[in-house]
Structure 1
Amino acid sequence: MTLTRDFKETVNSRVQRDPAFATALLDEAISLFLNGEPETARLILRELVNATVGFEELAIETSKPSKSLHRMLSAKGNPTMDNLTSILNVLRQRLQVDIKVQAISWS
């Protein structure tokens, strides 16, 4: 079966009309980072940046070159904790959400 719509376009459209979906993407990316799946987390953040702030605006707000940000949020990217924090802070402000982390017992 052929896809009728590009994945990026679908995500972008959904983020634009559904703020809860955008928040859920951010939440999932953070959970993935904290639970040992950074590659997938970076790709989700990349889509979220594209659908919200855009890489050019993110570059201005983080004082980092756009190309560097693209590399950081690629599958093989390796952002420093400071850079990741800057990116998450911009997304948090753009989505008007706070980030809270809670440790849960495995039992």
Structure 2
Amino acid sequence: MALTRDFKLTVSERVAREPEFAKALLDEAATLFLNGEPETARLILRDLVNATVGFEGLARETARPSKSLHRMLSSHGNPSMDNLSAIFGAVRRQLGVQIEAHAVKAA
């Protein structure tokens, strides 16, 4: 029988061990949102929140209820742009990074 490991635990441990991995997840979530894949972006962002600031910490930092934040970042969530901006801002500050968007010509 193959050994399995909880995905969330694996992500949390890797984020703690490799700051560049956490930054790459944040970059991927932002890129997915901007490229029209919000469902996947929300799930990546949810895993990143769990691995960094946590939902209770995110609730304090964004002045939004933890339960609402959980719903927003579920696969069927629908956060407003204000809420999404607050979430990205909190995670960005936690990681100590800036987010910049660059346009690339489509082939």
Bucket of the pairwise TM-score, normalised by the shorter protein: over 0.9
TM-score (norm 2): 0.97
User: Match of 1:16, as an amino acid?
Assistant: A
Partners of 2:10 and 2:2 in 1: CA distance: 15
RMSD between superposed Cα atoms in Å:
0.9
Counterpart of 2:73 in structure 1 is 73
- Cross-structure match for 1:56: 56
1:34 aligns with 2:34: yes
1:22 aligns with 2:22: yes
**Structure 2: 5+ residue runs without aligned partners?**
none
Which segments of structure 1 move beyond 2 Å, counting only runs of 4 or more? 1-4
Percentage of pairs with the same residue: 67
Provide TM-score, normalisation by structure 1: 0.97
What's the secondary structure of 2:8's corresponding residue?
Answer: helix
SS at match of 1:82: helix
Q: Does 1:4 align with 2:17?
A: no
Distance 1:3 1:60 in 2: 37
Deviation at 1:3, TM superposition (A): 4.2
Structure 1 portions without partners, runs of 5+: none
* Residue 13 (structure 1) shift: 0.3
Following superposition, the deviation at residue 37 of structure 1 comes to 0.5
Partner of 1:44: 44
Give the Cα separation in 2 of the matches to 1:58 and 1:6. 23
Query: What's the CA shift for 1:44?
Result: 0.2
1:97 aligns with 2:81: no
Residue-by-residue CA offset, 1:49-91 (whole Å, 9 max, x unaligned): 0000000010000000000000000000000000000000001
